[in-house]
Amino acid sequence: MTGSGAFNYINVLEKACDASWTRNSVLSNNIANVDTPGYKRKDVQFEEYLRNEVGYTNSLDDEVANADLDALMTTTYTEYEGMDYRIDGNNVDIDTESAELAKNQIKYYTMLDSVSQEFNRLKMVTKGNS
């Protein structure tokens, strides 16, 4: 069954969940360092890699089936490294980080729900064949 492509969406969603989990950790770290002099905000890059793998044709099914899962990586980078919002050299804005964290948590739970729905579809199909 694994060669059938039945898990294509689940595999891509798993990578997206992993990226979201990493982003949650990075955002939480930014919030924890809001008062650390010289600390620079960090973020995660994933969406661009996802777009490169599955975002350019009209057939999402084909794109997901042919996605190179190794190309769906998550990288952490320092954002606006040379930019300071405050005199102490820190560039973390607590309001922005809090909003991004809330947005990311909603995305994460939505993706988990999508994974659950994919497994329910697979379960329904396999029960129909018994």
Q: What is the pTM of this model?
A: 0.80
Has residue 108 been placed in a domain?
Answer: yes
Q: Answer whether residue 128 is part of any domain.
A: no
pLDDT number for residue 125 = 78
Gap between the Cα atoms of 87 and 93, Å rounded:
13
pLDDT of residue 39: 93
Q: Which domain holds residue 92?
A: 2-122
Q: How many CB atoms lie within 10 A of CB 14?
A: 15
Extended beta strands in 1-121, E state: 42-45, 75-78
Query: Can you give the length of the chain in residues?
Result: 130
Residue 82 covered by a domain: yes
Q: Which residues of the chain have pLDDT under 50?
A: 1-3
- In this prediction, residue 43 carries a pLDDT of 95
Residue 8 domain flag:
yes
What is the helix (H) or strand (E) element at residue 25, kind and residue range?
helix 8-32
Q: Return the structure tokens found at 53.
A: 């793998």
Q: Is residue 130 part of a domain?
A: no
φ/ψ of 118, rounded to 5, equals: -65, -45
Overall domain count for the chain: 1
pLDDT value of residue 93: 92
59-70, pLDDT tens digit by residue?
Answer: 666 777 777 778
Between CA 71 and CA 98 the distance in angstroms is: 29
